[in-house]
Amino acid sequence: MPSKTTTSAETPAVRVAKPPRQKGLGEPPQTATETAAVGNNTKVAADDKLVDLGFKLPQAFRRNFRLFCASNDMAQVDAFREAMADYMKKKGWESN
């Protein structure tokens, strides 16, 4: 009784050439309809969006900062902004 499985010698090998490599990314799509990618997020975040600064501080500094803000009836974000504005002005940095 002949077997129903085929061996690799019986099936022809299909050889397909690899597509050429891209040399660059090319131009970005002009509109969301010109791409298959979902979202097409090529815009920069607006200045009114809140973002994480991405650094950590010692717990003692955080505690002292929070106590200072609470005792002076200030929001922590406002205190940080004001302190950074003063420091940048002291260093000669032009803020927007």
Provide the residue ranges of all domains of the chain, joining segments of one domain with +. 58-96
* Nearest C-alpha neighbor of 82 from the set 95, 92, 71: 95
> In terms of C-beta density within 10 A (0-12 exposed, 13-18 middle, 19 or more buried), how is residue 2 classed?
exposed
φ and ψ at 64, to 5 degrees? -65, -40
Would you write out the chain's pLDDT as a tens digit for each of its 96 residues? Answer: 555 655 556 777 888 888 887 777 777 666 666 556 666 566 666 667 778 888 899 999 999 999 999 999 999 999 999 999 999 999 998 766
The reply to whether the predicted model has a pTM over 0.75 is no
